[in-house]
Structure 1
């Protein structure tokens, strides 16, 4: 029986992430889902961008492609359309996936490309010095907002849902069991899937905002979390500052490849 170890490159360890970073938890969760689903390594393609979480591909023994900052989704789109039988995953951070690559995220969701995007959100550009990103909470301290961040941040899951994503979910690294369940749900979903994972960054964001060590940061994330079911019974005021976790959206519609193929078949276009 396969385990997560069968999908890992242990000769590449130890990893380069900071002590206490949650990216390692997400990495193991992804590999564990591959094992649970008994996926053939040749049937998986993972595309990563630049940033802390973009290093995931360094440690996985599968087909991987490392691309430029913010461009992981268009590269993955090409792979998914060229070979619809592959399980295509994209690993990005909040800076890579929503700040630099935000436009691609919107269009990938509205086109309903059949791939699974996993975004590790640590509220800053962790790899390059802790600058603020599009998800950095207002008033937070970062290396580029030492007096408090004045910009309005946005909710990744709400953005993806508004753009048309058929599967949208959120988890924290405090709860890896839920995380694995949601990642599997995203892979099994036909169409564009997005899983946002809240990840602690004790080196930059946590230190600047006096949130303590990694364990305390994870506890804070858990204290902020509220399930989708409980959130449905709460008022907007009660949900202020909370993290809604679980499967937020799960609806079926034809993915891009299926719709395009139907048009070709109906019009008898020579492929």
Structure 2
């Protein structure tokens, strides 16, 4: 970190070109996370644990410490780090494939355990980096490179709603789903990022935010059409909402 400081100073969001595809929702969420860290004044004690996939690049653009975890293991690594350095702020940044496919067990057990770490899941409803394959959140009937006839729920199961699975867990204190489909949604998403990190800062327990984002490349759509598709199709099934917020209860007490 000291060497980075010599090069970049106190800048948080680095002056680098994103490697994300044009129109990718990862760029928006990466910026929202950076803004929240800066607003909360926690840059020097924040660590990002990234998963495998497009989200694994997010720390390349932030002047913070980062750990690259094995596929799906980011929550487990985050817990280990938090136990060793409880005074620091640690968050995971993962795509829906990394987080809810191979990493679902780690995620749910982390939520249930209640250790104050924060997990951000960026849901573009497919495996973006490796060719647009079906992921747990691919919609019913959706065509992907591995479901050329559309997702068949009898064969592949139903799209997985992750925050609904953890909302009733005692260890989870802030659970939300947000979208970046338009300006109003982005403002709501920014609020949830700050609340999730603040939940950890107050030591209340586990916090989680899912972001519904477009993947123009994987969807094989233009950028405007991918955002329209997300707004009309994705948020119909994955409805943005606050599932659990014990921050307010804590403030009242």
User: After TM superposition, is the score higher than 0.5?
Assistant: yes
Matches within 5 A, 1:29-178: 29-39=32-42, 41-150=43-152, 151=156, 152-164=158-170, 165-174=172-181, 175-178=185-188
Say if 2:214 is the partner of 1:214: no
Aligned-partner SS, 1:136: coil
Q: How far apart are 1:43 and its partner, in Å?
A: 1.0
With structure 2 as the length reference, what TM-score do the two structures score?
0.84
Instruction: Measure the CA separation in 1 of the matches of 2:68 and 2:62.
Output: 12
Q: How far apart are 1:42 and its partner, in Å?
A: 2.2
Q: How far apart are 1:225 and its partner, in Å?
A: 8.0
Task: State the Cα deviation string for residues 142-193 of structure 1 (Å, max 9, x = none).
Answer: 1111111122121011122244422111111122211110001101112111
2:205 corresponds, among 163, 180, 191, to 191
Question: Comparing 89-98 with 242-251, which one deviates more in the overlay?
Answer: 242-251
Largest Rg, 1 or 2? 1
Instruction: Measure the CA separation in 2 of the matches of 1:222 and 1:148.
Output: 20
Q: Partner of 1:269 in structure 2?
A: none
* Root-mean-square deviation over aligned CA pairs: 1.8
Instruction: Measure the CA separation in 2 of the matches of 1:243 and 1:153.
Output: 9
Aligned residues: 226
Instruction: Measure the CA separation in 2 of the matches of 1:215 and 1:113.
Output: 40
- Can you give the 5+ residue segments of structure 2 that lack an aligned partner in the other structure? 1-9, 248-253
Task: State the Cα deviation string for residues 204-248 of structure 1 (Å, max 9, x = none).
Answer: 1x22xxxx422232234334687xxxxxxxxxxxxxx34322322
Matches within 5 A, 1:175-254: 175-189=185-199, 190-204=204-218, 206-207=219-220, 212-223=221-232, 241-251=236-246
Question: Comparing 215-224 with 105-114, which one deviates more in the overlay?
Answer: 215-224
Instruction: Measure the CA separation in 2 of the matches of 1:224 and 1:122.
Output: 12
Aligned-partner SS, 1:64: strand
